Every structure is written in structure tokens, then in C-alpha cells.
A and B are shown apart, each in its own frame.
Chain A
Amino acid sequence: MTRALVVEDVHVTYKVYGDRGIGAREVFARGFKGRDVRQIHAVRGVSFEAHEGESIGLVGSNGAGKSTLMRAIAGLLPVNSGRIRAKSMPSFLGVGAVLKRDLSGARNIYRGCLALGLRKSEIDERFDEIVEFTELRDAIDLPLRSYSSGMRARLAFGIATAISPEILLIDEALAVGDRRFKRKSAERIDEIRAASGVVIVVSHSLSEIARACDRVIWLEQGVVQADGPTEEVLEAYKASQDT
């Protein structure tokens, strides 16, 4: 099997600013120490390889570092050490992938696809196909702020898969869709895998992972707990969650 994605001993740390009071009273009581800046060590030494045609589920408790790891693989968050290599730039799809709330769905499709590096003529060609897939024909000229979360997820999914990515990273985006959309997105995922691509899905819905993935990585506090066939890993994960 050909390797399509290699993650080697990756660490990701990011900074957050705490909401500690910096009013006169606090400063007087404690002395001025500047802002409360904390380092979050979200991913601590993760390694795995993905091969062509694989679909991998990523599970773990809240705050396990799943989203951070996905963003790092997509090249959207820099790694502090370690290395991530891929056969082509991965495409990322998250719930927060809302583009411009004041612009219509159609304008957002163009904006997103142009930012991805597509030519206008290429988007013109695929526009109807994208709209068809997202089932937003009637709402495509309405501003995004009038969309439901499910409609937004469909739009984001349509944009992210418009370039037929070889590596697709899906972060919880399917959770807000209805049954029909889940089925369609599952079909799209199968298409990508059939074209020897790789799909990694983060989800809290274990049934969805069981249906879509043949391998699962279980992450806890930034460390891989288990990596193996879906059934085995999900079994162990469920057991740990129930205690």
C-alpha cells in the first residue's frame, strides 16, 4: 500500500489569553503581571501513517486535541516539533468554516473556491454541480446569516470537496446534517477513497464512525491511546467513557 500521509512525532502548542481582571483593584492587590497568557500543549507526540484508500475515524473526549491535530495536518496550525507530510495539500472541512455571513451562498462559493486556488472558469463549470450537491438551489442567493447550521455545513462541504481533494479532513461537520445529507456525504467520501484518497473524520457519533471508517485512532490529552480496526478501538473507547 502506498503511503499518502505521514505524521511523525507531532507536538502542537498554542497560546491563549486568560480573562484575568486587569482592573485597578486586581493590579493593586496582586501587582501588575501583564496579561494571563497560557500555553496549551494540545498534541503531544502523535505519529501515524495513512495509506491510499483509507478512511480513518478520530475519537476522544472533549479537549483531547482532535481538532488541533486536524488543523495541523491541514497546514492551518504550525507544529512545534515533528513533521507532517502528505502526497498533496489536505482539504479541511469544519463547522466553523463559515465564510462571510453578509454575502449570499453563491458569492461564498466563489470566494471559497477562488481562495482555494480555482480559476473562475473552473468554478463556473462546477457551480451547478456544487449547488446541486448542497441542495441549496432556492437559498443560494440569500445571505449566509439566514441559513440554518445544516445548510451552512452543506455549503462548506460543497466548497471543500469542489476540488476533489486527495486528502479530506472532516471535523464534526457532518453532525449537523440531516439523514439525507449524511448519506450523500458518505457517498462523496467513498468517491474520494475510491480515487485512492484518504479521509479522516472527527466525530462524537460513534455509529457514524463505525459506518464510514475502517480504522480508528483514539486520542486522549494529545496522546494516541489506540490505533487499529474500528471495532476493536471503539470497544475500548466506549469502555473508558462508561466508567
Chain B
Amino acid sequence: MLVSDPSRAEPCADDGLIDVNAQPPVTTYLREIWDRREYLARVPLDDLRAQNFNTVLGNVWHLLNPTLQIGVYYLVFGVLLGTNRGIDNFLTFLAAGVFTYQFTQKSATRGASAITGNEGLIRSIRFPRAILPLTTAITELFAYLPALLVLYVVALATGEPIRATWVLVPLLIVPVQLLFNLGLAFFTARAADLFRDVQNLLPFVFRIVFYLSGILYSVEARVETPRLRTLFTLNPIYAFASLVRSAVLGLPLNVAHIWSALGWTTALLLLGFLWFRAGEHTYGRG
């Protein structure tokens, strides 16, 4: 394949014609994405609106859905199974964990169809394909914001005072987690384009992650072995969930969780972007 041959990317000075197949350098690629920032501002909101287009309650579902979910989890795990041992405010603990987990889980799962679900667009318009996983990550960010509102309402309703640390969630934790999700979406988007089977596997992978991330139970109260605790700290979803819980419930911040979250985000975003871009030319061929 001559596609990656760098000599082809050089502009032809002799007659001012451009090579239509040339892979632009990273800086040009990033600028092309920046040029389409209005796409990124508009399309995610359109997609969200379209999700509940056919329902009577419409956009109210973006608030209702997280509320009902917390109700169901509370009923099953808090009341019936009693996994709330060692947790003072189980409802808020649960809401923080479930919403944080879902923010990442939905970005990764929907990211898997960013390429495969947009073939019409890919096959007719040329644009930097990274726009597509970016759109997914931003869509899920907008979907997460109502859930965050529900989280604060639950915290207030269960007797938590308004804390200054609450602003840390939207100002610091959510932006970092957004970048983490984006990195993940870059991976799942290309992986699903290479092997469609990824889309069928992801729900099971995330089911396991769900149970291993201390969403329903307190790792501090139940996991005693230090080595096992280290493994939990290395789980980025547990790290993000713990950070959100610390900020909302006013618990001391665990510095190891901050490093875990930042480390994973940097690595995933960088490697995910590079791997995704390496496949730029292959999208829409299948």
C-alpha cells in the first residue's frame, strides 16, 4: 500500500494542484477539527433531542431516566440485598457511582458505532473522522449533565449540606472524565470498524467493570487486602467514582485516585487518538 508513503503528502509545487489522497499532518488535522467546532456544538444536541423524539414526555426523560434508575438500584441493592454496609448515605453514594460509571460506559458503547453507524456521512463527505467519536463523547457529556443535577438533588434530599467541594465535579472531574471517555471512544470506534463483534462484546465487558468498580458497595469497608485495594485504585472508573463521591459527600480526597484518573486519561487520549487516526483512510470502506 502506498497510502502511508510520506512522499505522496507533499504538495506539488509545479502546477498548484493538491493530492486528494494526502494524509494531512497532525497539526492540519487538528485545525480541520477546530474548523468544525460548530458541528461539535450543534450535532450532539440534535442527537440527544432525536433520542426521545417519539415519546410523550420527550426531553423530560433525560431527567426521569437517571431518577428511576437510582430508585431501582436502591430498591434491589439497598433494601433487598443490603449492600449498603459501611456507607452512611447509601442513596447519594449509589447515585454518584452509577452516574459516573454510565458516563463512561455509554461513551464507550456508543463510540463503538461512531464509524459503523455513520457510513452515509463518511461515504459522501470528506472531513476528519475524529469528529465522529468526538461527537459521541460530547453527546454523552450533555446526557450526563441532567444526571448530575439529579445527584445534587438526591444529596440535598438525603440531608447533605451544600458544600464548596461540589463545584469540583463540573469544573474538574467531569472535564477530565470527558477526555478519558473520548480516548476510550477513539479505541472502540476503530475496534468496532475492524471487528463488528466488538459491539456485541462491550456490554459484557462493562457488566464486569460495573461489579468490579465498587459502584454498589464500599471498597473501603469490604476490601481489606492492601494488594486488592491497589488493584481497585488502578481501575479508572472506580477512581472517578471515588473522586465524585469525595467531592459530593465531603470525604477526604484520595490522592492515588487523582493520579490514577489523570494517568489513564493521558494514556488513553493520546494512544486512542493516534490509533484512530492511523485508520483514517480505512473508514467507510467495509
> Interface on A for B, CB 8 Å cutoff?
3, 5-6, 14-15, 17, 71-81, 83-90, 92-94, 96-100, 102-103, 107, 110-112, 114-117, 119-120, 156, 160
The answer to whether B220 has its CB under 8 Å from any CB of chain A is no
Nearest CB in chain A to that of B54: its residue:
A102
Selected from B1, B15, B125, B127, the residue in CB contact (under 8 A) with A3 is B15
The answer to whether B36 has its CB under 8 Å from any CB of chain A is yes
The answer to whether B16 touches A102 (Cβ under 8 A) is: no
The answer to whether A102 touches B53 (Cβ under 8 A) is: yes
A125 to chain B, nearest CB (A): 14
Interface residues of B in 173-231 (CB under 8 A from A): none
CA distance A107 to B108 in the complex (A): 25
CA distance A102 to B131 in the complex (A): 20
Interface string of B123-138 (1 = CB under 8 A from A): 1111100010000000
Interface string of B1-36 (1 = CB under 8 A from A): 111000010001001111111000000000010011
The answer to whether A120 touches B42 (Cβ under 8 A) is: yes
CA distance A3 to B14 in the complex (A): 12
The answer to whether B46 touches A15 (Cβ under 8 A) is: no
7 examples of A-B residue contacts, CB within 8 angstroms:
A14-B285, A76-B126, A80-B3, A90-B20, A97-B125, A115-B39, A115-B121
The answer to whether B17 touches A87 (Cβ under 8 A) is: yes
CA distance A3 to B12 in the complex (A): 13
Closest 4 CB pairs of A and B: A114-B39, A85-B17, A97-B124, A75-B20
The answer to whether B1 touches A77 (Cβ under 8 A) is: no
The answer to whether A88 touches B284 (Cβ under 8 A) is: no
B78 to chain A, nearest CB (A): 37
The answer to whether B50 has its CB under 8 Å from any CB of chain A is yes
The answer to whether B38 has its CB under 8 Å from any CB of chain A is yes
Selected from B15, B36, B126, the residue in CB contact (under 8 A) with A89 is B126
CA distance A85 to B22 in the complex (A): 10
Per DSSP, chain A at the interface is mixed
Nearest CB in chain B to that of A119: its residue:
B38
The answer to whether A110 touches B20 (Cβ under 8 A) is: no
Nearest CB in chain A to that of B3: its residue:
A78
The answer to whether B85 has its CB under 8 Å from any CB of chain A is no
List of B residues within 8 angstroms of A3 by Cβ? 15, 17
List of B residues within 8 angstroms of A83 by Cβ? 8, 19, 21
The answer to whether B36 touches A117 (Cβ under 8 A) is: yes
CA distance A93 to B125 in the complex (A): 9
A34 to chain B, nearest CB (A): 13
Interface centre among B8, B20, B43 (most CB of A within 10 A): B20
List of B residues within 8 angstroms of A72 by Cβ? 21
Selected from B3, B17, B121, B127, the residue in CB contact (under 8 A) with A6 is B17
A164 to chain B, nearest CB (A): 16
The answer to whether B50 touches A115 (Cβ under 8 A) is: no
The answer to whether A115 touches B36 (Cβ under 8 A) is: yes
Nearest CB in chain A to that of B51: its residue:
A102
Nearest CB in chain A to that of B125: its residue:
A115
The answer to whether B252 has its CB under 8 Å from any CB of chain A is no
The answer to whether B159 has its CB under 8 Å from any CB of chain A is no
B side interface size, CB within 8 A: 36
On whether A15 and B285 interact (CB within 8 A), knowing A107-B46, A110-B42, the answer reads: yes
The answer to whether B126 touches A74 (Cβ under 8 A) is: yes
List of A residues within 8 angstroms of B122 by Cβ? 76
List of A residues within 8 angstroms of B19 by Cβ? 83-85
The answer to whether A85 touches B12 (Cβ under 8 A) is: yes
The answer to whether B281 touches A78 (Cβ under 8 A) is: yes
Interface centre among B2, B18, B21, B32 (most CB of A within 10 A): B21
The answer to whether B123 touches A76 (Cβ under 8 A) is: yes
Interface residues of B in 233-286 (CB under 8 A from A): 281-282, 284-286
List of A residues within 8 angstroms of B18 by Cβ? 85-89
Nearest CB in chain B to that of A98: its residue:
B120
On whether A94 and B50 interact (CB within 8 A), knowing A87-B18, A120-B38, A120-B42, the answer reads: no
List of B residues within 8 angstroms of A79 by Cβ? 2-3, 21
Selected from B8, B36, B46, B125, the residue in CB contact (under 8 A) with A92 is B125
Interface residues of B in 88-141 (CB under 8 A from A): 120-127, 131
The answer to whether B21 touches A116 (Cβ under 8 A) is: no
Nearest CB in chain A to that of B35: its residue:
A117
Nearest CB in chain B to that of A122: its residue:
B38
CA distance A115 to B53 in the complex (A): 23
List of A residues within 8 angstroms of B120 by Cβ? 96-100
CA distance A74 to B124 in the complex (A): 9
On whether A78 and B123 interact (CB within 8 A), knowing A85-B12, A111-B43, A114-B36, the answer reads: no
CA distance A81 to B2 in the complex (A): 6
